[in-house]
Structure 1
């Protein structure tokens, strides 16, 4: 069911899987419980590339060769889901541990994979489809859910799928954001930060097309019921997109590696990764070419402004860039939980360190709430934060820094060495970082972290931790 011979493992380096995964995400978001959980807790709008990388890594681990790695990832996912519960705008409860909801999430992966093959002219054989379905049920079992929440075989699956589409799915806010906002406003990945104009131009064309392809691939009955618009020729465009992506299977093996692409998209500009150095050099060459064109061109061309990175950061900038992780315009617990989740993922924490980090952030949230929530609505607005002292760094934030240092310091020698530093920052020691004997001391780490998290100034190594798209 798992490892190199699994059907899901075949998808990882198949470019068609990108289209299928977007489609599956839209169908997930159309479920009222999933949609509400995404709106309240997810960073998929503000940090989509970070979310993509973490999701890809999780799926890889769940279908790894080593059973211990699979069980460890299943336990991590269960801990993550156990922290996500609440109610939507109509006071309907949602719970990420609901087995029926989790069964629907796995359902969208299976059905979108089957659709991916069908739309690209290579429908799965019955035996392949049954094996893929068995892997999906095994996936749920590994998470500890009863496989009975999915029908026993493929023949019974399709009536179940049609029933959920007809009776449960809705035109949720999360689904509309993915289809009509996310693609059109997709932030530039860090690795392409030097080409904002090029990215904006490409996004303006590709965003609407990707949305149209996704809408056209959704079940027709659902499109009619929810009133989703369909552009003229969208069906032909969708078919062409899947067929074209499918042609890449004829490329030499190893030319397309999804894990390498996912890593590349999340490289920070200050990374010492050789690929980042190559891109930086390419960026310099393009800017030189642009300067030459401006010199010889008879007409003045608009000049692209150089990005500025002032040391000081205003309270409003810090609020939007760092604190408001979910992008809803307010600071509340899901924003700080998203920080803890990202740091735990980077450091690959197990219990009890993961819970210690979440608890430290929860204490900091209570401290912030007590100091800054002046109108008592349970959350902190941009205005409330800006009106208060933006450099607030009380005992709870100090505790966050201490817990994060302990989690990063794997060997417990009270110093962070080069390997431990790279695990957290995904880069080598920065040239501006003062180290002693090639290590990062506890006091220096805590002071730098407090300076960053209290919004006093920008710091090159810390900014990518929580601001990266």
Structure 2
């Protein structure tokens, strides 16, 4: 990634990492959800209605990896988002949508930069013209790594303002998703765990009050062209509240030490040293996966018999019906065909451990969809088979039955379950289950939850 072009007084990364960015966070999501493609994807694929706090946490974490972490975490996050977005497509209100639509992706990223600029302006500390261009160059350098081409980006921050205005007037809609985010989602949100002492009644009172304040503040903070386009009129009270919060927030923030002012350590300095890339921890993980999971016959090679034995173990432990067994066996047969076609160079029907590790690493690095060729369809079949009550979730009892055949100590099994249960709600969704295995095969660092599926090394 190109080094920041911003000087010490203008840094997109630094400003994005300030805690007071939360004051314009709701403004950002309403703007993004006003793009029809983004709104359709959120309405049909996002969990923001049922799990808004988890969705906010995931969004914040993704933003940190994209804009505030080192190159390794950025690369991993770009690959993860690409895999997720390839599955978000469909038809809403008779119009097709696709999360990989260039216009939608561009709007999401450009509004992020616009929000940082708005934070500065609302707080009474706008960028100078030179600072604005320097900060935009820094942002553009990151955006091209994330996936926007130079041709998709305005050449300057001044041109960006014009493009955002044109998009607002010509393409945006006050979608149902945007309306719900602005007025209803906080009112309907479940009580966060830390506030459970309030009880149902206390939370209803508090959430209604917070929802009203956030809605009024967001309307006051939205761009004037957006408000005019959709007839949103800020109240005098909201304007006063906005000025008090943003200017007061800046007054407090500028007096705090960097460790309290910024969400990322060292973010106050645009010239902070970069952490050296971590060692790639995938080879030993794949070696262990080969020995403990794949090589069922213990002969040091992978063959069709090993994959059939794995399918047999799954079916045996779960006591599946004939139809259920057929689905699992078919998925594992397809997985073997992918492995054989890509790894069995001499055609002898056997794959050595070294061949497996090298080919898997190369495949994951070369093609973000590599695991979709065999492993993930097999895992979907396993998840559906293990989900004995058909609720789309695995509780620990179902998880334990599924993995008992693997040589993992019960304590490590419990640890692995907690690693997959990323939101800590006591059950594993299909997305969490697959994401854990994707982490296991693709994460270079050992910090990703799925890297410890087989227990701690």
For this structure pair, what is the TM-score category when the shorter chain's length is used for normalisation?
A: 0.5 to 0.7
Deviations, residues 348-404 of structure 1 (Å, cap 9, x unaligned): xx9766887864686589999xxxxxxxxxxxxxxxxxxxxx963599989x96799
Aligned twin of 1:203? 207
Alignment counterpart, residue 103 of structure 1, candidates 101, 106, 120? 106
Aligned twin of 2:189? 186
In structure 2, do the counterparts of structure 1 residues 64 and 14 end up closer, same or farther at CA, with 3 Å as the change threshold? closer
Alignment counterpart, residue 44 of structure 2, candidates 35, 40, 43? 40
Are positions 1:159 and 2:155 aligned together? no
Aligned twin of 1:414? 408
Alignment counterpart, residue 178 of structure 2, candidates 164, 175, 178? 175
Aligned twin of 1:114? 117
In structure 1, C-alpha distance between the alignment counterparts of 2:15 and 2:407, rounded to whole Å: 42
In structure 2, C-alpha distance between the alignment counterparts of 1:405 and 1:208, rounded to whole Å: 47
Structure 1: runs of 5 or more not aligned: 261-349, 369-389, 431-444, 446-469
**Cα deviation, residue 422, structure 1:** 4.3
Using structure 1 for the length normalisation, give the TM-score. Answer: 0.58
Give the root-mean-square deviation of aligned CA atoms.
4.1
**Cα deviation, residue 21, structure 1:** 2.0
Alignment counterpart, residue 224 of structure 2, candidates 211, 220, 227? 220
**Cα deviation, residue 15, structure 1:** 3.2
Are positions 1:138 and 2:144 aligned together? no
Deviations, residues 27-62 of structure 1 (Å, cap 9, x unaligned): 100011111111111111211111111111111111
Deviations, residues 265-284 of structure 1 (Å, cap 9, x unaligned): xxxxxxxxxxxxxxxxxxxx
Are positions 1:21 and 2:17 aligned together? no
**Cα deviation, residue 194, structure 1:** 2.6
Structure 2: runs of 5 or more not aligned: 266-367, 427-432, 434-457
Alignment counterpart, residue 125 of structure 1, candidates 118, 125, 128? 128
Deviations, residues 177-221 of structure 1 (Å, cap 9, x unaligned): 000101222322122223234433332222211111111111223
Q: Is the 8 A contact 1:183 1:211 kept in 2?
A: no
**Cα deviation, residue 163, structure 1:** 0.4
In structure 2, do the counterparts of structure 1 residues 396 and 42 end up closer, same or farther at CA, with 3 Å as the change threshold? closer
In structure 2, C-alpha distance between the alignment counterparts of 1:15 and 1:246, rounded to whole Å: 10
In structure 1, C-alpha distance between the alignment counterparts of 2:203 and 2:392, rounded to whole Å: 42
In structure 1, C-alpha distance between the alignment counterparts of 2:59 and 2:393, rounded to whole Å: 30
In structure 2, C-alpha distance between the alignment counterparts of 1:242 and 1:98, rounded to whole Å: 34
Aligned twin of 1:75? 79
Deviations, residues 312-351 of structure 1 (Å, cap 9, x unaligned): xxxxxxxxxxxxxxxxxxxxxxxxxxxxxxxxxxxxxx97
For residues 49-448 of structure 1, the aligned pairs below 5 Å read 49-89=53-93, 91-196=94-199, 197-249=201-253, 250-255=255-260, 258=263, 359=377, 392-393=389-390, 413-415=407-409, 417=412, 420-425=416-421
In structure 1, C-alpha distance between the alignment counterparts of 2:242 and 2:375, rounded to whole Å: 44
SS at match of 2:18: coil
Aligned twin of 2:279? none
SS at match of 1:53: helix
In structure 2, C-alpha distance between the alignment counterparts of 1:50 and 1:128, rounded to whole Å: 35
In structure 2, C-alpha distance between the alignment counterparts of 1:414 and 1:151, rounded to whole Å: 53
In structure 2, C-alpha distance between the alignment counterparts of 1:395 and 1:45, rounded to whole Å: 18
Deviations, residues 274-324 of structure 1 (Å, cap 9, x unaligned): xxxxxxxxxxxxxxxxxxxxxxxxxxxxxxxxxxxxxxxxxxxxxxxxxxx
In structure 1, C-alpha distance between the alignment counterparts of 2:252 and 2:133, rounded to whole Å: 25
Using structure 2 for the length normalisation, give the TM-score. Answer: 0.59
**Cα deviation, residue 248, structure 1:** 2.6
**Runs of 4+ displaced beyond 4 Å:** 1-6, 256-260, 350-358, 360-368, 393-398, 400-406, 425-428
Q: Is the 8 A contact 2:399 2:417 kept in 1?
A: no
Larger Rg: 2
**Cα deviation, residue 168, structure 1:** 0.6
SS at match of 2:203: helix
